[in-house]
Chains A and B, each alone.
Chain A
Amino acid sequence: MTGGDTYNVMEMDDEFNVTSSRRRLVEDWPQRLVDHQIAACPDGTWLHVASANVTVPNDSAYLFRYDADLNLVCSATIAESDPVLRYNDAPLVCTGGATADDPMDGTATHSEGDLERTPFLFFDENCEPSAQEPHPANPSVTGTSILWDEERGGFWQIRTTPDDFPVLFQLYGPWMEPVDESYSVDTLVPEGYTTHWPQAAVQVGDYYIVAHLARAPGVIYNSDKGDLWLQVFDRGFNHVQAVEVATFADGGGAQRPWLTARGDQLVLVYDDDLWPHRVDVTLNLDLLMGEEPDGTDEPGLDTGPAGGEDPAEEEPADGSPATPAASPESRSEASGCNTAGGPGGRALAGLMFGLMGLWGRRRR
Chain B
Amino acid sequence: MPLGFSEEENMPNYPTIRGLPKLSAATVARAALILGLALAAAPALAADPIASVGAPIGIRDASGLELSGNWARI
Interfacial residues, chain A to chain B (CB-CB below 8 A)? 1, 7-8, 10, 12, 16-22, 35-38, 204, 207, 209, 230, 232, 240-241, 243, 245-246, 255-256, 258, 260, 264, 266-267, 269-272, 274-284, 286-288, 292, 343, 351-358, 360-362
What is the CB-to-nearest-CB distance from A216 to chain B, in angstroms, rounded to a whole number?
18
Are A38 and B51 neighbours in the complex by a CB distance under 8 Å?
Answer: no
Interfacial residues, chain B to chain A (CB-CB below 8 A)? 43-44, 47-62, 66-74
Are A278 and B44 neighbours in the complex by a CB distance under 8 Å?
Answer: no
Q: Which of A18, A258, A264, A361 contacts B60 (CB 8 A)?
A: A18
Are A279 and B72 neighbours in the complex by a CB distance under 8 Å?
Answer: no
Q: Which of B48, B52, B55, B73 contacts A352 (CB 8 A)?
A: B73
Chain B residues closer than 8 Å to A35, beta-carbon distance? 71
Interface majority SS (helix, strand, loop, mixed), chain A: strand
What is the CB-to-nearest-CB distance from A241 to chain B, in angstroms, rounded to a whole number?
5
Are B50 and A241 neighbours in the complex by a CB distance under 8 Å?
Answer: yes
Nearest neighbor of B40 in chain A, beta-carbon distance: A292
Q: Which of B51, B69, B73 contacts A283 (CB 8 A)?
A: B51
Chain A residues closer than 8 Å to B44, beta-carbon distance? 284, 286-287, 292
Chain B residues closer than 8 Å to A22, beta-carbon distance? 61
Are A355 and B55 neighbours in the complex by a CB distance under 8 Å?
Answer: no
Are A260 and B66 neighbours in the complex by a CB distance under 8 Å?
Answer: no
Are A258 and B68 neighbours in the complex by a CB distance under 8 Å?
Answer: no
Known A17-B62, A281-B52, A282-B51; contact A258-B67, beta-carbon cutoff 8 A? no
Nearest neighbor of B47 in chain A, beta-carbon distance: A284
Q: Which of A276, A288, A362 contacts B49 (CB 8 A)?
A: A288
Nearest first, the 7 closest Cβ-Cβ pairs linking A and B are A355-B69, A276-B72, A280-B54, A277-B56, A282-B52, A271-B70, A356-B71
